[in-house]
Structure 1
């Protein structure tokens, strides 16, 4: 059997309107074209669907049985096509994002809110995790994409640049560093340092050593999350380093921050995705929105904004 959608639509329109004239007008075809489609459908099914001996449209017994199925198939297809159109037009969908815990509680909530105000039917789900778990989540297919600092990629992973930010030192307002207009790494490393365990500290130490071999990053505490490090700074256990996007977690007057110079070390963040996986329109739309929104942030255009 070779049944086409045009044939089914012609048959359903004929039954619903009750005449060839009304059905042809509804489908914007001639009556002869409509009659031809009905005959093709009957030939394809090898049955008679319409009784042609009466002045009005009369279905055969088989036609009566076939009509509900034909109407249901078209309704289901039209619903599916509308759903696809909604997805393409960012009217619906789910976006799953893996992000470092600090970014997930500072930068991203406002971004998600702004995006969903424009696309209210799209659900954005954040997976907050340690920095080193972001790429793993992407590669395992647990999320649509991940956001994190530059890392070595596998052949199956792509990276789209998001922003590039310098490290800042964070310390109490009564700390000796607060009296300096310009804070260097040498200044900061003279005090007990709280850092993140793992790749964060290893990479930062390597960057410092490459420029100033005499500078050694030897943290007195290494923790898993930046929020913990910031809380320890508030408690007077030392100072820490972070990227400017995380400063929004600090209430006004609680702590101070300075861009670290001599040398200025920055981190480029990327949007990571699987190379062999096409992002859904909703996920691709959020990626584009995120890139544009980050360009508008003061800490992207003017990283010195946290300098004194």
Structure 2
């Protein structure tokens, strides 16, 4: 049987209004078109659904049973279509984001706040974690998007460039580095250096060796989160290197941040999403807003 939605809607409208004229008017079609749809439906089903008379119409016994089913089908379908329309128009939806702990405590809350003002019905779930864990969540499809630095060997993900920023020296006010007109990596390493564990420091050592004759970083302390490193710098335990998007948190600790030279080493960050998996309208809108927000930042360099 090839029953169409137009036939079902015509039948339900006829049962609701009790007459061909009013049913046709409610559907904005002619009475003859409505009559034709009912006849097509009865032919498809092989039964009479409507008992016709000169004054009024009545549903047959089969028609009454079929009416309850047709009404439920159309109600469920219309509900599903409304739900899709709400998602498309950003009247509802959920965006799940994984971001490194430092970014989750600096840049991302600003973006979420601005996005929620424009789209108050969209829920944002933020998972703050270590850098490698953030990227892995996108690879496993546990979040819609994750944000992190460039990593080799990633498969099954799409990497959308977000920003490219240079490393900055971070130190307390009055520190000897502050008296230098130009701070180089060699200047930084004359002091106890606090670094992040894992690939952060490993890649930094590789970049320094490629671009200069500077010996690899020999940290005085290795920590998991940059907020810990900043706290230790604030306590006078050493200096560190970070990226400009952390300027807000650096200011909260009362620290100084200046560009590192000789060489200038940069880090590119990406928005990662699972390959061959379409983002929801809400997630697409958030990604677009994130790009716009980052594009407006000067990063204090």
Q: Same fold (TM over 0.5)?
A: yes
Structure-2 residue corresponding to 1:181: 181
> Is 1:90 matched up with 2:90?
yes
How far the C-alpha of 1:39 sits from its partner, in A, is 1.1
- Greater displacement, 220-229 / 125-134: 125-134
How far the C-alpha of 1:80 sits from its partner, in A, is 0.6
Structure-1 residue corresponding to 2:152: 152
Contact residue 173 and residue 253 of structure 1 kept, 8 A: no
- Count of aligned pairs: 301
Structure-2 residue corresponding to 1:21: 21
Q: Which runs of 5+ in 1 are unaligned?
A: 300-304
Contact residue 95 and residue 122 of structure 2 kept, 8 A: yes
Distance (whole Å) between structure 2 residues aligned to residue 134 and residue 58 of structure 1: 63
- Greater displacement, 104-113 / 246-255: 246-255
Structure-2 residue corresponding to 1:287: 287
What is the DSSP-based 3-state SS (H/G/I as helix, E as strand, rest coil) of the residue aligned with 2:222? strand
Report Cα offsets for 1:6-30 as digits up to 9, x if no partner: 0000011111122101111221222
Distance (whole Å) between structure 2 residues aligned to residue 250 and residue 263 of structure 1: 23
Q: TM-score, normalised by structure 2?
A: 0.96
What is the DSSP-based 3-state SS (H/G/I as helix, E as strand, rest coil) of the residue aligned with 2:240? strand
Structure-2 residue corresponding to 1:57: 57
Root mean square deviation of aligned Cα = 1.3
> Is 1:122 matched up with 2:122?
yes
How far the C-alpha of 1:153 sits from its partner, in A, is 4.2
Structure-2 residue corresponding to 1:167: 167
- Greater displacement, 87-96 / 188-197: 87-96
Distance (whole Å) between structure 2 residues aligned to residue 3 and residue 276 of structure 1: 34
What is the DSSP-based 3-state SS (H/G/I as helix, E as strand, rest coil) of the residue aligned with 1:213? coil
Structure-2 residue corresponding to 1:267: 267
Q: Which runs of 5+ in 2 are unaligned?
A: none
Distance (whole Å) between structure 1 residues aligned to residue 34 and residue 214 of structure 2: 87
> Is 1:230 matched up with 2:230?
yes
What is the DSSP-based 3-state SS (H/G/I as helix, E as strand, rest coil) of the residue aligned with 1:298? coil
What is the DSSP-based 3-state SS (H/G/I as helix, E as strand, rest coil) of the residue aligned with 1:217? coil
How far the C-alpha of 1:31 sits from its partner, in A, is 1.2
